[in-house]
Structure 1
Amino acid sequence: MAIGAPVPGMGDSTVLSEGGTCLEPAGAAAHLVPLLVWLSPAYPVGAFAYSHGLEWAVETGDIRDLASLEGWVGDLLEQGGPFTDAVFLAHAWRAVAARDNAALREVAELAAAFAPSRERQMETLNQGDAFLAATRVAWPAPDLDLIAEAWEGRAAYPVAVGVSAAAHGVPLGVTLGAFLTAVAANLVSAAVRLVPLGQTDGNRALAALSRRVHAIAERAAARPLAAAGGAALRSDIAAMRHETQYTRLFRS
């Protein structure tokens, strides 16, 4: 049987590799393609320029090695800004999927106002603007216009990702997992440069954090919008202190 030939009894979307091994259904693999592009360091949102307050945490010694990095970023994913962003992403995705402009406006407005500091707001709104601008040009879809119809303000980054994923039919679960992994990867990359940590320890940290992503994504997907919130107060303070930090490599 040739490569790419349908597997008998399994539908036209399942194919064989050269060695005859069954691959994933083509439709399922196709959902990953936009996420791999959108959430890669190459996508022009400038994520590399933001540390989410991590730069201040390194200066004060809160993050100084592999263990402290895993603890800091893990807390953010579990109960900090990244978790709340995942909640906003889920509600934006559902609003677009249901073509519910009122619900989309509600989550867009809350996400834009939810940042605890000026730099955090800049971080999410600048990346949201850049993400939507790049996606409209390179990945157009009719439902991308729903955010402009529903909300006259700027879209926060997780809202932009949720809207785009829903507009392209990318499932919510895989979108949340990819988004949280990308956030963790960006923070680990910042720590590798700042602490400094070696690439090996950075990779260990990301591997450990990625094992927690699925459960965190499930919790975020189930969280009502009215219950959005976090408890990573040290990170919020770090973002505020970073605004007046004497030497800075990052914009947040």
Structure 2
Amino acid sequence: MFQCITYQLEAGVAVITLNRPEVMNALSTLLRAEMLAAVLRAGSQARVLVMTGAGRAFCSGQDLGDASGPLDLERVLNEEYVPLLKAITDCPIPTISAVQGAAAGAGANLALAADVVIAAESASFIQAFTRIGLVPDAGGSYWLPRQIGLARAMGAVLFADKVTARQAMDWGMIYECVPDQDFSAHWRARARALAQGPTLAYLGVKTALRASFGNDLDQQLALEARLQGECGATEDFREGVAAFLEKRAAQFRGK
């Protein structure tokens, strides 16, 4: 069905693999459309979504050869990138970016749109926009200052320096940096763990943490109370309490 990505679903884990290794998984119009369809499918079929790349890179960013004439970048961003990025950030299940090799330009910021970023130690993140006379897009100007602070974000973008996976973890840009030999097994284990967890609580976590940037304390406390009330009425909460009292592993069903 897909030409530029692969989609696999197993044991509640949906894996979307960007599959244009010959161009380091550069983002074409078709790839973005297929990825959007796959993210929406995962949101209704799976309990966790993983995005990764085939070959030696996660994603090299916008495919600059994917047009017969000059790129209308404003249109491309509004019509093709924004729906995809919103689908990822609004996805009702946890999302993971599993990054190997380079994540550059829009490819780096696509990775950062996920809830959790796990990178191989040899991976790198490059805000390459100024190298071709552009500003950061695909959400980079939103995520980076919030994740690593204005000073580091400004330097990373202005100089277009390569940020290693270890730096990215130390700065708070990503969650984990994993030795290359352990990378595949590690992100798969992380995905399986989330797939076995309390899906509705995870959605509440995503809602609460993302809302905190725009809320004052009173608003955030009220949101916490509402979300906790909703979670407290679920079968997952009852199962979690029962498992705790019975000293066994909980069997969550996402209800």
If the TM-score is normalised by the length of the shorter chain, which range does it land in? under 0.3
More strand by share: 2
> With structure 2 as the length reference, what TM-score do the two structures score?
0.25
The higher-RCO structure (CA 8 Å, 6+ apart) is: 1
Between Structure 1 and Structure 2, which shows a larger proportion of helix residues? 1
